[in-house]
Structure 1
Amino acid sequence: MPAESGTARPINNIVAKRRFSQQDRQLLASYAGLVDGLAAMFGRHCEIVLHSLEDPERSVIHIANGSHSGRGPGSPLSEQALRWLPELERQQLNHSPAGFVQSRLGAPVKSSTLAIRNGEGELIGLLCLNLHLSAPLHEFMADFMPQVAEPPEMSPENFSNNVEELVTLTVERTIEAINADPDVANNAKNKQIVTTLYEKGIFDIKDAIAMVSSKLNISKHTVYLYIRQKKRDEDESIA
C-alpha cells in the first residue's frame, strides 16, 4: 500500500551513509519494544531485525532471535533488505510482499520487510521479519502452547461492543468467580467483589458505581466505602 507522504530520493542515496536527526534516532529506537514483543508472540524461530539506514554498513540496531543468522547489533544490511530498498523507496511502499528466501545454511525462510519513515515521509529504517521454516514442527507448536510446568491463568477476555456491556460482563464474571471461591466468607464477598473491580479499573468508567451497586443489591454509599477502604489500605502499604 503506498505511503501517504514523502518524496522518493535517488536510489543511490538510499544506501549512502548519512546523518540522522535526533528525532529520527528516537523514532527508530522506539521500535525496539515492538521487536521484542513480536518475538515473544511468534516464538524463537522468528528472527526480527530493526535496521537504521543512517549507516547501512552497521545498520542493525536491535534484533531478536539473531542466532538464526548469526547477526547482532552493528551488523550490515542483508542482501534481502538491499534488494527491497529501491522498491520501497521508488513506489513509496509501506512493506514488501511476504516471500520465500534461503538462510545462510540453505534452509527456507519466509520473509517480509516493513518500511519505517519519519514525519517527512523519508525512509529511515526497516523492520524485517524472518520466519525460519526448517525448525521442527513440535518446536513451532511449543511456542504457541501454554507451558505445562507453568500453566497460565486463562481468564476470558471481554470483547465488548460498548462501555456498558464491558462493565456488565466484567462485573458478572467477577461476581461469579468470587461467589465460587470457598476461601472468601459469605459476609465478605461483596467487599471482595468491589475491591477486585477497583483493581481492574472498572470504577474509572462513568456510572460503573451505580451499575455495581445495582448488581450487588447494595447502596452506592457502601460501594464508595469499600473503595475508600481499599485506597486507605494501599496508602498504608506504601507508607
Structure 2
Amino acid sequence: MAERHTHSRRCRNDEWKGRNMNEDSEYVRSFIPLVHFLGAALGSNTEVVLHDVTNPESSVIAIANGHVSGRSVGSPATDLMLKVLNDGMAQHKDYIAGYPGHVSHSEHSLVSSTYFIRRNDRIVGTICVNTDQTAFLTLKRSIEQIEHAYLPTPNVEETSETYEENLAVSVEDMAMQVFNAMSAENGIPVTKFSVDDRLKAMRTLNSRGYFQFKGAVSNVANLMGVSESTAYRYLRMAQAE
C-alpha cells in the first residue's frame, strides 16, 4: 500500500513538473515576435537569439540574423547560459551587457548582451544580442594608429565585472572550441595530448557547464580518441581538484 502511494505521489510530481515546464516554454515562446523586431531594428550585423532553458541541447527557439554566428533554431545553449543556470551568477541581475562573444568558425569579434526571462522568480529563458563589431574595430585600429602617433596613451584600470561567452553551432562544436584552442596553443593534435592536457580540457569544459549536455562525455571521448570510461575517469579527476 505504501509503495502504491509513493508511486502515485511520484507520478503526480512528474506530471506537475512536466506541466510547469510546458507552461515555462509557452511563456518563453511569447517573446518570439520581439526577437524578429529587434533583429530588424538593430540591423543585419546584430544577431538576436531566444533560448528556452528547459532543453539545453537545442535551446534556440528563435533567431534573427543567424548568419552572425552561423546558428539556427535547434542550436544548443552557450557555455555562459549553462554557467548562469549552474552557478546562479545572474540571481540578482536582470541582464548582463557588453561582454565579448566568440564564434568557433570565425575570427570576428562580437559584443554580447543577455537579458534573463524569469517566471515565478526562475530563469526560464534568455534573449541574447550579439553584434559583429568587425567594422568598428577596423575603424578603431586606424584611429588608434593616428592617436598613438600624436597623443599620449592614458593608463585606464579595468574595474568592471567581466564575462565571456563562446557561441557554438552544436554540442560537439562547443567541445571542439576548447580542444582546438589548446591544440593551437600546444602545437600538437588533440589525439597527442598528454594526460595533463586532457585534464586541463576537462576542467575548462566542466567550468563552462558542458557536461550538463546529454552525451557530452561521449563527445569528448571521441575528440580525445579515448574510451568513454577513460573520459569519465578524467572528468572525475578534474572535478576532484
Q: Give the TM-score, by structure 2 length.
A: 0.45
Looking at secondary structure, tell me which structure has more strand per residue.
2
Quick check: which one's helix share is greater? 2
Please tell me whether Structure 1 or Structure 2 has the larger radius of gyration of its CA atoms: 1
Q: Under a length normalisation based on structure 1, what TM-score does the superposition of the two structures give? A: 0.45
